[in-house]
Amino acid sequence: QAKQAVAPVHEFSQEVEAVLDEIETMLDGDIPEEQKRFYAVKLFERDDKIAEQMKHAPDVSAVIEKAEKDMDDDSESIITNERYNYITSIIGESLKKANKEKLTTSDKIDRVVTNRWLALPIFAVVMWLVYYVSVSTVGTWATDWANDGVFGEGWKLFGLVDVPGIPVIVENGLSVVNCA
């Protein structure tokens, strides 16, 4: 029972389909009807392995050269481009893109912070705020701890008073700094 040729799931552009149909008619009867399109596409792409696999590969170089001249591209690139166009059409039909007109929160912040006129004043305010926090609150806590805890009574808290020489070295170092 002979198999019928299957209609292709995807069809290329009319120009490419015409060339593939012409190549299909050149294929001999050794190739099953349902595989003729595959062989036509592969011969159009100049696939050497398929040409070697076929017993009597037809000379389709004239058809290919004419198509390449008409479409101003090489045959492999023509098929590749057709496949990418098909993939793009599938993605376009199935993928839902977010509304481009609606701005995300990040985009809204970017519009304000990178504004031509507001960028420098906003930068100055942020820098002043960072400086103020570091000098008045967090910075004060850190320097108070270092001055009072580590260099003041901290040696007693760490139990280092009984170690001979350390408090004297620290006192001498601090007195040198104060005298300078």
Write the pLDDT tens digit of every residue in 7-59.
767 788 899 999 999 998 888 777 888 888 898 999 999 888 988 888 788 88
Alpha helices in the chain (DSSP H): 14-26, 36-44, 48-53, 61-71, 75-94, 105-113, 119-132, 138-144, 154-157, 166-179
Domains of the chain listed by start with CATH number: 14-94 (1.10.287.1770), 105-179 (no CATH)
Distance, in Å, from the CA atom of 17 to the CA atom of 13, rounded to the nearest integer, reads 6
Tell me the average pLDDT across 103-110. Answer: 90
For the segment 131-179, what is each residue's pLDDT rounded down to a tens digit? Answer: 998 888 888 888 887 777 666 666 566 655 555 555 666 666 666 666 5
In this prediction, residue 180 has a pLDDT band, given cuts at 50, 70 and 90, of: very low
Expressed in angstroms, the distance from the first to the final Cα of the chain is: 109
pTM for the full predicted model: 0.51
